[in-house]
């Protein structure tokens, strides 16, 4: 939404992340806006089959993280209000597992069912 906010097409109220977004430094977080326990950060990742050889994963991670963390990569993501990750495959695995547990609990507690 950052480009739309910056162009004045929509009015941003707050960001859902735990810290302010560099592209929108005047936009508070929801925590700053009065919801102290709220945070949500969207993420995107690249996955491979579980039996992919470690050297192949390492080579892909090296190439992808170099692009993400390059000056051009950082500039691209900053324009849309995002921050490139480039974490290790192990760190990404831990993130996915934690998100699965977190949102699984929300789904169970809310009684959400697939239709």
**30 touches 15 (CB < 8 A):** yes
Averaged pLDDT, groups of 10, the chain, 115 residues long: 91 91 91 89 90 96 94 89 87 94 95 93
pLDDT score of 35: 93
pLDDT score of 70: 95
Of 41, 52, 43, which Cα lies nearest the Cα of 16?
A: 41
Residues in Cβ contact with 71 at an 8 Å cutoff, skipping those fewer than 6 apart: none
Sequential DSSP letters for 63-114: HHHHHHTSHHHHHHHHHTT-------HHHHHHHHHHHHHHHHHHHHHHT---
DSSP 8-state class, residue 28: P
């Amino acid at each position: 939404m950052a480009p739309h906010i910056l162009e004045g097409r929509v009015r941003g109220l707050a960001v859902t992340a735990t810290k302010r977004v560099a592209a929108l430094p005047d936009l508070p977080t929801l925590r700053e806006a009065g919801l102290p326990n709220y945070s949500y950060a969207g993420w995107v990742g690249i996955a491979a089959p579980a039996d992919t050889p470690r050297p192949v994963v390492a080579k892909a991670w090296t190439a992808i993280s170099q692009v993400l963390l390059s000056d051009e990569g950082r500039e691209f993501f900053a324009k849309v209000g995002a921050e490139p990750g480039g974490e290790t495959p192990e760190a990404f695995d831990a993130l996915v597992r934690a998100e699965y547990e977190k949102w699984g609990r929300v789904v169970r507690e809310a009684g959400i069912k697939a239709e």
